[in-house]
Amino acid sequence: MTSKHDILASIRKQTVPAAELPNLSDVAGITFANPQQQFAAILEGVGGLCHHVADVAGVNERLATLSPYTEASQIISAVPGVGQPNVDIDTIDDPHDLHTVDFAIFRGEFAVAENAAVWMTDHSIRHRVAYFIPQHLAFVLPSRDVVNNMHEAYERLRFDAAGYGVFISGPSKTADIEQSLVIGAHGARSLHVFLVDSLD
């Protein structure tokens, strides 16, 4: 009998009392007087920037002031009327070919004020890697689609068919090395979220 067997045998003898799952309907998530303002504050805290604009024209005006956009050589936009794209993601067969994209603009499903996360799916894009491979990202969504917390967020999620979805909060970052925060370590170096009052 080895010490490994002794440990495993001891673990097997233990009995853990059953515990009922919590009733999530009794759990109230945090709410905010101004979810959009809270979202903007948290997003800035995790390295991103939020722009609250009136309409698509306002998005384009703000884009024209952002150096990552104005200096970009290759631009994707999956949001009609936003930006001046020169790369058509729908014509690209190999997602590896997106590695040269400088700036990409996508439509967000909704956002969460609690943690500045934006729910993104592959419903309207061909290659999901496009959320992670460009140098800079911008998400566009209606300002009304900012929920307070993750409880409200999960109520909005639908899994009626196979697909892909991810919450993205801020640009890529890590603090694993020497506890020093590095932005853009694994993916996008910046994230701009446009909350638009009149979209669609």
Q: What is the per-residue pLDDT for 1?
A: 63
* Below-70 pLDDT ranges, the chain: 1
The pLDDT tens digits of the residues spanning 126-148 come to: 898 999 999 999 999 999 999 99
Domain count, the chain: 1
The alpha-carbon radius of gyration of the chain (Å, integer) is 21
Distance CA 188, CA 193 (A): 13
pLDDT at 66: 96
pTM of the model: 0.84
Q: Please state, in angstroms and rounded to a whole number, the distance separating the CA atoms of residues 69 and 103.
A: 6
Element spanning 50, H or E: strand 49-53
- What is the residue range of 148's domain? 35-196
In a domain, 94, yes or no: yes
SS3 111: strand
CATH of the domain at 147: 3.40.50.10420
Beta strands in 67-189 (DSSP E): 75-77, 103-107, 110-112, 117-121, 136-142, 146-147, 165-168, 173-174, 182-183
